[in-house]
Structures are given as C-alpha cells and as structure tokens.
C-alpha cells in the first residue's frame, strides 16, 4: 500500500495539464464535499440546530431504523421501476435512431432534447397542468364520458413515477443509442441465417452485444433518480415519501445536518459499492471466458 | 440433397434491376456467380438466403418453393463477407449457435461442433474469443458455423476478400475439398475470375443484372458468349475484321493487320467480326516461318518476367498485343529484348470469333 502511494506521487509529476484540471475538479467538487458530508454524519446536532463536532455513531443507528429502511426500499423500487420503464420505452427509440439516416437521426435527437431547453421546474409544472385533477387529460376523459370523477395521478406514487420516467428518458436513450449504433447489422442477418427467429435474434445476439450500453445507461439514470428531490416533492405531494425528500427535510426543516449527512452517506456509499461490485463481477467474468 | 432452381427471378431497387434469372444448380455442385461490382451477384445471393424478396419469380429447393420463407426457415446458410461472427461468444459457441437454437442434446451438440471444427481445422481454437482470431481463422470459424447444421446449400459472399493474397490460393483448395467432402451445394459470389475458375464446377458470368453465360470454367474461357465474358474471364487481344469464305468450308478474317485463317463452328456470325486471342495462345517468333499460318509483325515495347511465364507488350502498327509465354528455352528468353522485331503467331482454332460489340479496344 505504501509503495503504491509512493508510485502514485511520483507519477504526479508526469501528469499532463488536462489531468490536473480533471483531478482538481474531482477533488473540489466531488470528493471534498462528500468528505465534509461524511465527517458531518459522525457529529451531533446541538439543541439549537448547529453542528457539534463530537464523534458518535448514533446517526447511523437511527438511519438503520425500520422507518428509514422502508423509505430506502421504496425509493429503490420506485427508481428501479422507473429505470425499467425508461429502458422499455427508450430501447425502441434508440434502435430506430441508430438505424435511421443521418438527417433523421439529427432531427430525432434534437426533438428528444428540445424539452430540456426549458427550465426543469417549468417542465414539471407543465406536467401538473396536463395530469392535474383539472388538467387537460382529466378534462378530456370527463368530456368523453370515460370517467365521472377526475383520475388522481398527481400527488400519488404514479405521479412521481411519471415524472421520473419523463425526465430521465433522454438520458437513457443516448447511451443506448451509442451502443446500438456500434452494433453490426450483419450479426442480425447471421443469426437469422442460422435459424434464429426475431425474438431469439434479439435475446441471443442483439441484447448480449449491447448489454454494456444498457447497464451504463441504466446506472446513468438510476443513480440520480435515487437522490431525486424536486420531482417527488412537486408531483408526489406530502403523502409520498422518497429518500431525497427525507434528506432535504432533515437538513432544512429539522435542521439536523448530521443525521441528513448520515442518510446521504449511506446512499452514496451504497451506490458506489453497487457499481464497484458490478464492475468487478464483469472483470472476473471476462477473465474466466478469455482464458 | 436437392437441386436449387431460380425461375425467372427478378428484383429491382433504385436504378438496379435483376432481369429474369433462370439457374439450375445441381446438388453438391460448386457454383460461382462471377461479375463486376453492381452486376447483381450479391442480390442473387441475398434472394437465395432470404434477406431480400424477389419482385417476381420463384426459388425452388428440390420440390419445395422457398421463395417467401424467412432466412431462419431455410436449409440455406451463409458465410458473410466480413464473417459476422458473434463477438460475445467464443469460437465453440459461435459454431454451436444453430444447434443450440434447435435444442439438441448437449452431447450431440459437442460431438457435431467438434466434428465440424476438425473439418475446418480450428479444433484447437474452441475457447478463443472472436477478437483473438486472425483473418484466416475467422474465416474457418464462419465456415464451420455455417456447415455444422448440414445445410443443403451454403452461400459464400466473397469469402476470400479479407484474406492475405498468399493465403487465398491454399484456402481455396481447402474450400473445394470441404465442399466435395460434405456434399452440400456451394454457391460462391466473387468478382475474382481466377477464384471462380479455380473453384467452380460451373459458373455464371453476370453483368448489369443479367446473366450472360453459364458453363464450366473451360467452356467460358474457351467459348465465351460475348466480348464482355471473354475479357472478364481473362485478358484478350482483339482484331476486328470482315469474315469471308475463301473456299467452301474455309474461312478467313480480313483486317487492316492482314488476312487470317479461322475455324468457324456452326454458330451464325455477321460479316463484321471480332477475333479474340488469349495472350497464352500466341507464340513469339524471331523469324518468319512458312509453317505458321497466321503471322503479325511487331516490336516488343516492354516485357515483364514473372518466373513461370514472361509477359510481353507488343506493338504492331496502331495495335497493342499482350503475349504471355510459359514454355521457353533459356536461350530464347535471353534473346528477346525491348525494341526487338518479332512475329506473333497462333493456331487458327485458338481464335475466338464473336460479333462486334461496342467500340474497338
């Protein structure tokens, strides 16, 4: 370990300026803030709401209480479900774009991102005006006589779900698109030629060859979904608890920064652990198949 | 094993059109589709593989109409031009792909895969990943993958184009041996006439969506249907002239370069004809000889020594002739140099007579 550190320090001298900029960015905006939060998670909230720097594990003890574990599981399931929906919707979109002509592709990608040129909060209020109890959708449904009372979508779990899928879909389409674009179409023909029907071609040839893109894209949306605060707050209402919401409450309503930090640390470390596990799993698998 | 028949097969897209193609390919035959790019040979292959649907016509495999069958329901497999091996599977699993889809018992899959891999001599590569293969190895894997399922017909789309030239000749010999060993019908698409001649039992020469001639390599080389086939299958020298019957049964061609005796077979010819001469059918003489019937005098412009043969470029008046001589004594080789005056001679029966087409070359 000591030798490795020494070697790293020695190599620092050879780093190009671009590496320094990246490293500085990493330390100042990612590592340092996390370390502050992490340190804070072992502190104590003083009665006045300030931070008292006394070492304690009480915050973690409290965080693993059933109430918070329930919030965590709920958040994981909702995020995973929304990620899966994004995949199901995003895959055909990405497949179409990857196979389209250059012009179609440009237009398609621009259209996909046009909503994102509008402010995020405004887009969320857009959703409210469509799916709210007096929104466009319910008005139409009632006029057509399909329902008598407005369908409650907003301020339910469905509302959060809808908001997550809507907001994160493009960010999954892009990595899927770049994976599918690299996929050699002659492999599809080869599979069909050798006796695979459409479904078998999809599961046995297409999917295994783009699974890296699927995994990266899913993590790309799943991780920020887990920490999402604004969407569940604006579309989920008071009833729907979501990990991000609980954390923000701890910081700004309860003024319990140490406990909020503990929750944030658990989320971050859990995600890092999950990603690391996946990567090392992938590494060992590729080693065993190649030897 | 079944005969494969194309019956007035037509297909058009954009400005290209494949025109009513009729072919009957025998079971176990090594058949080639030869032609320049854009001639429609790949289209025929894709129609046979089921990747395209013909505008008109039928494809029959034995008594079965397979025209509308999707690729996965045909007993026809393809070796793709760039092999299209599955990068996520190792060599063994690539070869086993079609058998796994058929859900055969494990032991049988292993047996058949190993059998086929030893046939194409890749047994030792079973656990390799696809990106660890050389071009020649990848080609053998592609071949094994297509053969393991014992198809009635194997389609090969320019399978040698990605190989080193030095490797090609050897692999061709092996491919032909494999074809005869497994007894399947092999259909090769190529633009390389040497490849088609070396491999095929019979071949079809195509141009602009049309099949110009079908026959054995020898038939096509010696008796080409037209000037395009003649020059595509190998280099030719052309002399244009008028055909005349000097005595009953005796024919000659009168041209600016002289009058030459020819042998005419039964096919009717117009008065204006092209006389085509293969470079290797012509002889170079230092002196005029009365024993030779057809002679042209010329000057050596250039010569290329190729070991087994020497190629000469010879100018006679305004025409350029290519002559290739294989059997020559050392003495004569040493004697012939650029700017030497020589005589070209050939046997009357070696001249190919065809109606004139297009501008003179």
Model confidence pLDDT, tens digit, residues A144-200: 988 888 888 888 888 899 999 999 999 999 999 999 999 999 999 999 999 999 999
* Residue numbers in B near A196 (CB within 8 A): 72, 97, 101
Residue A97 in contact with residue A90, Cβ under 8 Å?
no
Chain A closest CA to B40's CA: distance in Å?
Answer: 19
* Residue numbers in B near A194 (CB within 8 A): 72, 77, 97-98, 101, 145-146, 149
State phi, psi for A164 to the nearest 5 degrees.
Answer: -65, -50
Mean pLDDT for the stretch of residues B37-43: 92
Residue B73 vs residues B64, B109, B151: alpha-carbon distances, Å: 12, 20, 11
Q: Do the chains contact at A193 and B77, CB–CB below 8 Å? A: yes
Residue B334 — pLDDT band, cuts 50, 70, 90? low
To probe the interface with B, which of A188, A189, A194, A286 has the most B CB atoms within 10 Å?
A194
To probe the interface with A, which of B70, B72, B159 has the most A CB atoms within 10 Å?
B72
Residue B114 vs residues A261, B123, B154, B178, B280: alpha-carbon distances, Å: 60, 7, 19, 15, 46
A192: nearest CB among B72, B89, B149: B72
Helix (H) or strand (E) holding A22: helix A17-26
pLDDT of residue B231: 92
**Which portions of chain A are predicted below pLDDT 50?**
290-291
Residue B60 is encoded by which pair of tokens?
């029959």
Contacts of A196 (CB under 8 A, 6+ apart): A204, A205, B72, B97, B101
Query: Tokens 């693993």 label which residue?
Result: A64
Read off the pLDDT of residues B53-109 as tens digits, 9 standing for 90 and up: 999 999 999 999 999 999 999 999 999 999 999 999 999 999 999 999 999 999 999
Could you give the CA distance from residue B275 to residue B260 in angstroms, rounded to a whole number?
A: 10
* Prediction pTM value: 0.83
* Residue numbers in A near B89 (CB within 8 A): 208
B60 bridge partner residues: B5, B65
Q: Do the chains contact at A196 and B51, CB–CB below 8 Å? A: no
DSSP-derived pairing of the beta strands B153-157 and B76-79: parallel
Other CB atoms within a 10 A radius of the CB of residue A112 amount to 18
B72 and A CB contact within 8 Å? yes
pLDDT of residue B331: 65
Read off the pLDDT of residues B211-249 as tens digits, 9 standing for 90 and up: 999 999 999 999 999 889 999 999 999 999 999 988 888
Could you give the CA distance from residue B210 to residue B170 in angstroms, rounded to a whole number?
A: 31
B49 and A CB contact within 8 Å? yes
Chain B closest CA to A192's CA: distance in Å?
Answer: 5
Range from A274-288, B35-49, B93-107, B192-206 carrying the lowest mean pLDDT: A274-288
> Among candidates B235, B209, B233, B236, which has minimal Cα distance to B220?
B233
A205 and B CB contact within 8 Å? yes
pLDDT of residue A204: 95
Q: Do the chains contact at B101 and A187, CB–CB below 8 Å? A: no
Chain B closest CA to A199's CA: distance in Å?
Answer: 12
* Residue numbers in B near A291 (CB within 8 A): 127
> Among candidates B69, B53, B1, B63, which has minimal Cα distance to B29?
B1
Residue B178 vs residues A112, A192, B199: alpha-carbon distances, Å: 53, 24, 11
> Among candidates B10, B61, B23, which has minimal Cα distance to B215?
B23
* Residue numbers in A near B97 (CB within 8 A): 191, 194, 196, 204
Mean pLDDT of chain B: 90
Say if the ipTM goes beyond 0.90: no
Q: Output Rg (C-alpha) for chain A, integer angstroms.
A: 24
pLDDT of residue B180: 93
Q: In this complex, how many residue pairs, one in chain A and one in chain B, have their CB atoms less than 8 Å apart? A: 68
B162 and A CB contact within 8 Å? no
Could you give the CA distance from residue B106 to residue B109 in angstroms, rounded to a whole number?
A: 5
Read off the pLDDT of residues B266-283 as tens digits, 9 standing for 90 and up: 778 888 999 999 999 998
Chain B closest CA to A221's CA: distance in Å?
Answer: 25
pLDDT over threshold 80, residue B17: yes
Q: What angle do CA B357, B358, B361 make, to 5 degrees?
A: 105
A189 and B CB contact within 8 Å? yes
A189: nearest CB among B51, B129, B132: B51
> Among candidates B144, B193, B200, B148, which has minimal Cα distance to B29?
B200
Mean pLDDT of chain A: 89
Residue B325 — pLDDT band, cuts 50, 70, 90? confident
B87: nearest CB among A191, A196, A209: A209
* Residue numbers in A near B129 (CB within 8 A): 289-290
Could you give the CA distance from residue A218 to residue A171 in angstroms, rounded to a whole number?
A: 9
pLDDT of residue A291: 41
B42 and A CB contact within 8 Å? no
Other CB atoms within a 10 A radius of the CB of residue B279 amount to 17
pLDDT over threshold 50, residue B305: yes
Could you give the CA distance from residue A241 to residue B222 in angstroms, rounded to a whole number?
A: 87
pLDDT of residue A1: 53
Could you give the CA distance from residue A56 to residue A59 in angstroms, rounded to a whole number?
A: 7
Residue B134 is encoded by which pair of tokens?
């050389």
Closest alpha carbon within chain A to B132: A290
Query: Distance from CA of residue A85 to its chain's centroid?
Result: 13
B77 and A CB contact within 8 Å? yes
Could you give the CA distance from residue B18 to residue B55 in angstroms, rounded to a whole number?
A: 9
* Residue numbers in A near B127 (CB within 8 A): 291
Residue B109 in contact with residue B99, Cβ under 8 Å?
yes
Query: Tokens 């599979």 label which residue?
Result: A191
Give the burial string for B51-64 (b: 16+ CB within 10 Å, else e): ebebeebebbbeee
Residue B200 in contact with residue B156, Cβ under 8 Å?
no
Altogether, the residues listed in chain B come to a count of: 361
């Amino acid at each position: 370990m000591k030798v490795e550190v020494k070697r790293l320090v020695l190599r620092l001298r050879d780093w190009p300026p671009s590496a320094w900029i990246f490293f500085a960015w990493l330390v100042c905006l990612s590592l340092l803030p996390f370390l502050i939060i992490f340190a804070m998670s072992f502190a104590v909230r003083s009665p006045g709401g300030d931070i008292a720097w006394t070492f304690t594990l009480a915050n973690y003890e409290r965080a693993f209480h059933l109430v918070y574990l329930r919030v965590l599981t709920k958040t994981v399931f909702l995020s995973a479900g929304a990620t899966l929906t994004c995949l199901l919707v995003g895959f055909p979109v990405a497949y179409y774009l990857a196979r389209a002509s250059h012009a179609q592709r440009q237009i398609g990608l621009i259209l996909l991102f046009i909503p994102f040129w509008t402010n995020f909060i405004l887009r969320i209020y857009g959703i409210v005006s469509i799916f709210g109890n007096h929104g466009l959708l319910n008005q139409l449904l009632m006029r057509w006589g399909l329902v008598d009372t407005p369908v409650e979508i907003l301020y339910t779990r469905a509302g959060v779900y809808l908001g997550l899928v809507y907001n994160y879909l493009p960010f999954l389409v892009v990595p899927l698109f770049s994976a599918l674009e690299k996929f050699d179409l002659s492999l599809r023909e080869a599979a069909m030629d050798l006796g695979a029907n459409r479904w078998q071609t999809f599961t046995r040839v297409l999917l295994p060859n783009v699974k890296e893109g699927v995994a990266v894209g899913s993590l790309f949306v799943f991780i920020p979904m887990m920490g999402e605060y604004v969407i569940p707050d604006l579309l989920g209402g008071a009833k729907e608890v979501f990990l991000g919401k609980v954390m923000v409450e701890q910081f700004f309503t309860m003024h319990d920064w140490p406990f909020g930090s503990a929750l944030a640390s658990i989320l971050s470390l859990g995600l890092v652990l999950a990603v690391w596990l996946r990567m090392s799993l992938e590494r060992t698998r590729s080693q065993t198949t190649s030897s | 094993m079944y005969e494969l028949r194309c019956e007035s097969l037509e297909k058009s897209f954009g400005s290209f059109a494949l025109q009513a193609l009729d072919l009957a390919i025998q079971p176990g035959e090594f058949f080639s589709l030869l032609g320049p790019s854009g001639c429609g040979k790949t289209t025929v292959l894709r129609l046979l593989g089921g990747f395209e649907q013909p505008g008109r016509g039928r494809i029959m495999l034995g008594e079965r109409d397979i025209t509308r069958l999707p690729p996965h329901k045909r007993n026809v497999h393809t070796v793709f031009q760039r092999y299209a091996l599955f990068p996520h599977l190792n060599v063994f699993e690539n070869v086993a792909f079609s058998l796994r889809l058929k859900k055969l018992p494990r032991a049988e899959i292993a047996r058949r895969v190993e059998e086929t891999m030893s046939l194409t001599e890749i047994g030792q590569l079973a656990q390799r990943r696809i990106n660890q293969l050389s071009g020649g190895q990848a080609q053998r894997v592609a071949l094994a993958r297509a053969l393991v399922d014992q198809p009635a017909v194997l389609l090969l789309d320019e399978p040698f184009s990605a190989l080193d030239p030095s490797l090609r000749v050897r692999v061709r010999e092996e491919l032909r041996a494999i074809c005869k060993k497994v007894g399947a019908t092999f259909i090769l698409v190529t633009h390389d006439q040497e490849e088609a001649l070396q491999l095929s039992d019979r071949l079809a020469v195509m141009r602009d969506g049309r099949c110009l001639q079908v026959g054995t390599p020898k038939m096509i080389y010696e008796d080409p249907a037209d000037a395009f086939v003649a020059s595509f299958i190998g280099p030719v020298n052309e002399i244009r002239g008028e055909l005349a019957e000097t005595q009953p049964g005796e024919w000659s061609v009168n041209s600016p370069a002289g009058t030459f005796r020819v042998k005419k077979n039964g096919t009717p010819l117009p008065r204006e004809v092209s006389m085509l001469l293969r470079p290797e059918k012509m002889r170079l003489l230092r002196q005029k000889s009365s024993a030779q019937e057809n002679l042209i005098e010329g000057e050596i412009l250039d010569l290329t020594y190729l070991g087994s043969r020497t190629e000469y470029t010879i100018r006679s008046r305004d025409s350029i002739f290519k002559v290739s001589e294989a059997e020559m004594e050392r003495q004569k080789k040493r004697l012939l140099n650029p700017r030497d005056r020589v005589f070209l001679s050939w046997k009357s029966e070696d001249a190919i007579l065809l109606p004139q087409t297009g501008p003179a070359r």
